[in-house]
Every structure is written in structure tokens, then in C-alpha cells.
Structure 1
């Protein structure tokens, strides 16, 4: 994962916790990522979150199709995401006008969604140390 992939509101793993990016700063040696009001860490200590069926549920996607080759999740009135069960993974990713955009991690999906809609992807997940749900 490169620092250029990250933006505000992305969710990532730090140690054993899911954390949001609430700020970023270049300190000339690395990119520091602010994960709460008191903590800024080197971005290389963050790990991406793999997309799973559980995450799609938290994102409001519904399973729309399942076969032995593919599982499709739809976000009503917006988009779909296909998991390809074959080893070549040709038909996997965020489906946009008949083309697959490869993304394997939550922050990538958040970024694609924001780029296409101009809105944050709503996530049914309570952030530790926060009073509200990230949206």
C-alpha cells in the first residue's frame, strides 16, 4: 500500500484495531497519518482491510447473485462488486459500465466510490474512540 492511495476517512488496520484516517502530514521522511486526536503514525504501520462478504454487508451491499464461479453484491441504485471464484480472477472487482475496476481492499473501494459519486461510502461501523458512525 502506497501513501498516495490514502485519503481522509479511509479505514485501515493499525495493530489489532480498525482506524480512520483523520489527517495526513508529510514530515520529509515519511507520511504521518493521524488516526485520532492524539495519535499520528507512519503510514507504513497501517495495513489494508480485505474486502469480504461481511464488509459488503456493513457497506449496505446485498448479495444479488451466487454461482459456483461468482458472487455478486449490489449497492441498490449505485453499483455492484463481483467476486470471481476462479483462480484467474478475470471477472472480479467493482463493476462500472461493464468494466471491472480491480480493488481488493476497503480503502480502494472507498476511494473509487468517492471518485465516481462525490460522496463518502456509508459504513455501518462504530469507530473506537468516536462518538458517531463514520459516513
Structure 2
């Protein structure tokens, strides 16, 4: 088994654990003041159901940048891209966001703090979701 295949398997296992165990627990605190995690509310592409997912949403000028440690193919990212909008609750405030766009690490780096940049780089995160706060 190659290193890439092993890493993909580990990443999938962590993603599955987070989806069914960690994320439901995180939703009790995510989005609150003084907590690092935010909440993104999105609508299912085909079901039309409302979903809530904990994320790390870094405020940047005019919007947010969300790291995508599991890539761009996860359901919540696909839902936000398809709808073209979502709602983010971060630090106790709620924002309607629009114009979702996948950006690379180099583009995200120009808007993130050096500390966040280093942290995301150490984790090997190379894709981010950029959204704009609706006016």
C-alpha cells in the first residue's frame, strides 16, 4: 500500500469518526462566543433538507475562510457550492454568506494570520472555502 493510499485511508477514517461522533458533540459549543469552532448552516443539494456542520471559519475582510481538511468533495462543501449561499455562526454572531469559492493555500495565506497559516500548513490543508458576507 502506498503512502498516499494509507494517508487517504486514515483521513477517511478520521472524517467518518468526526461526522458521527465528534461533530454532534461539537455542535453544542460551536458558534458561541469564545469558542474556536463556528457553525455553517446549508441546504442539501437534492434533499432540500437543512444541515448544520461545525467548521473553523476564520473572519477575513468581507467574509470568512474555511479550511477544508477533507477536501472539496465532502457533502457540506458541495451543498454550499450548489446553493451559492449559507449561514455562518461565529463568535456568537450569525452571518448570511454568499459567493462560495474554492481557493488554494497560497490565496488563503494572503488573508490569514501568520499563526493560522502555519497551523493549516502543518496539517497539510491545501484547499479552502472563501465566502463573502451578504450585504
Q: Pick the TM interval, shorter chain.
A: under 0.3
Higher-helix-fraction structure: 2
What TM-score do you get using the length of structure 1 for normalisation? 0.24
What TM-score do you get using the length of structure 2 for normalisation? 0.24
Report 1 or 2 for greater relative contact order, CA contacts < 8 Å, sequence distance ≥ 6: 2
Larger Rg: 1
